[in-house]
Chains A and B, each alone.
Chain A
Amino acid sequence: MPVTARPWYRRPNAIVVAGCLIAIITFGVRTSFGLFTDPLTEARGFDREAFALAIAFQNLLWGLGQPFAGAIADRWGAGRVLAVGGLVYAGGVALMAQSTSPGVLTLTGGVLVGLGVAGGSFTIVIAAFARLVSPDRRSWAMGLATAAGSMGQFLFAPLGQSFISAYGPVTALMLLSCTLLLVPILATALTGKGDEEDTGEEDISTRQALRAAVTHPSYLLLTCGFFVCGFHIAFISVHLPPYLSDQGFSKGLAAWALSLIGLFNVIGAYTSGILGGHHPRRLLLSGIYLARGLAFTMFLVLPITTASVLVFSALIGLLWLSTVPLTSGLVALMFGTRHIGMLFGVVFLSHQIGAFLGALLGGTIYASTGSYDTMWVLCILLSVFAAIVHLPIREQRATVAVVPGAA
């Protein structure tokens, strides 16, 4: 059979670059929404609660939509889903700028953007890399995409702020919406479903793949571990600044702490992707959660000083999204790449549920006890739990029993 040469934009390096640019743009735009809280609420006459409700719906729809977007990408190709998701995302941001009531804002900035993010960003890029990048570079590429997405916040924060300062929040959102229109163009590099026909994967339906995964102990353990990841980082993201304020530190230190987490997150995610290509991922994950537990314990037990806050932030940053390339890599290893979008989407949903609970419980426990101590202890216990549950994961291709007619 004659081999057709790939066009330049479908070659491995172009695929990785395009995927990383999509991650930068989609995550960058999304993390810049925080900059619009005050300007947009003032311009449109909302209150902060309306804006917060829209963002909460956005997170919910993103998490719930991810397995479905993944399943569609598995069937029709990641490129198409990214293109449509990018258009929905851009449309949602543009309409968000035009929203004149809290209800409409929830529909546009919440529902539409949430669905757009589910289809047009990170996890679909990871799924595309799993299929389109060769196995020896896959873990590195996944780590690179995670790090690039994380770096997006640093690029789009100044961009979003300068747009707001120069043109006001409404026009700034329209301009950000325009940058999202690059996603469908970049997605052309991520079209196709790879060469799974040559990898010996079973030809099973989405339902069969899901059934096989949810009855597989290693997949369930991995899902439990990723739940803990979401719980930790949402708690820290939301509650670290007020915790530091309670301890008598300035907001400037909180700014340094969060920025350091962001910086070391980029380093940690990229490094873990490289390490995942050479070492057992389950052991790396176990080590990451154990290290998180140690960091939480030291932070809770030792006297809290400016130095300890900065060291804690750097450590937690290194361990922040370093779980992502390892977790997604394990899903690809266990179940192959044919249904990676849907299967990683389900694992990701557990992450978002954990995040929801981490943010919620932090507030609830603080409101009832007047302290975050219980939450810190809970974080430590969950770290130990996650470190343990990754150990028995079998890092090998799962055997999938195909039942004729079960599709």
Chain B
Amino acid sequence: MTRRRACEVLIGLVLAGVSFLGVLYQVNEAAAAKGEDGGVPKLICPLH
């Protein structure tokens, strides 16, 4: 594996790791949410 490819993989793992922590946060928040919309995150796609 070249150094460049290793960097690409490492960056990908960091992105995925941070996002996975974000998933856990969102799901925990959703589980704790109350009210009519409680349970569904109000954010998802950055393009919308």
Contact = CB atoms under 8 A, between A and B. Distances in A.
A256 B12 CA distance: 22
B18 interface: yes
B7 to A, nearest CB: 10
Given A157-B25, A267-B16, A241 B40 contact: yes
B46 to A, nearest CB: 4
- Indicate the size class of the contact surface on chain B: 20 to 34
Interface in A206-226: none
B19 A258 contact: no
Interface string A139-160: 0100010011111111101100
Interface string A40-75: 000000000000000000010000000000000000
Nearest to A152: B46
Interface string A7-51: 000000000000000000001001111110110000000000000
- Indicate the size class of the contact surface on chain A: 35 or more
B46 A31 contact: yes
B19 to A, nearest CB: 4
A255 B46 contact: no
A266 interface: yes
Contact of A263 (B20, B31, B47, B48): B20
Interface string B31-48: 100010111111111111
Interface stretch (A126-134, A230-238, A284-292, A335-343): A230-238
Given A251-B30, A251-B38, A263 B43 contact: no
Given A262-B22, A263-B22, A271-B12, A255 B30 contact: yes
A78 interface: no
Contacts of B27: 252, 255-256, 259
A298 B11 CA distance: 32
Contacts of A144: 11
A237 B12 contact: no
A254 B43 CA distance: 12
Given A157-B26, A355-B47, A251 B39 contact: yes
Contacts of A27: 46
Nearest to B5: A274
A37 B42 contact: yes
A154 B47 contact: no
Contacts of A281: none
A140 B25 contact: no
A250 interface: yes
B12 A154 contact: no
A11 B9 CA distance: 22
B37 to A, nearest CB: 8
A101 to B, nearest CB: 23
Closest 10 interchain pairs by CB? A154-B22, A251-B39, A34-B42, A255-B30, A27-B46, A31-B43, A259-B23, A266-B19, A259-B26, A34-B43
Given A252-B27, A267-B19, 9 more contacts: A34-B41, A34-B43, A38-B37, A150-B45, A157-B41, A251-B38, A263-B16, A355-B47, A359-B48
11 contacts: A38-B37, A150-B45, A152-B46, A157-B25, A158-B25, A237-B48, A259-B22, A259-B27, A263-B19, A266-B19, A351-B47
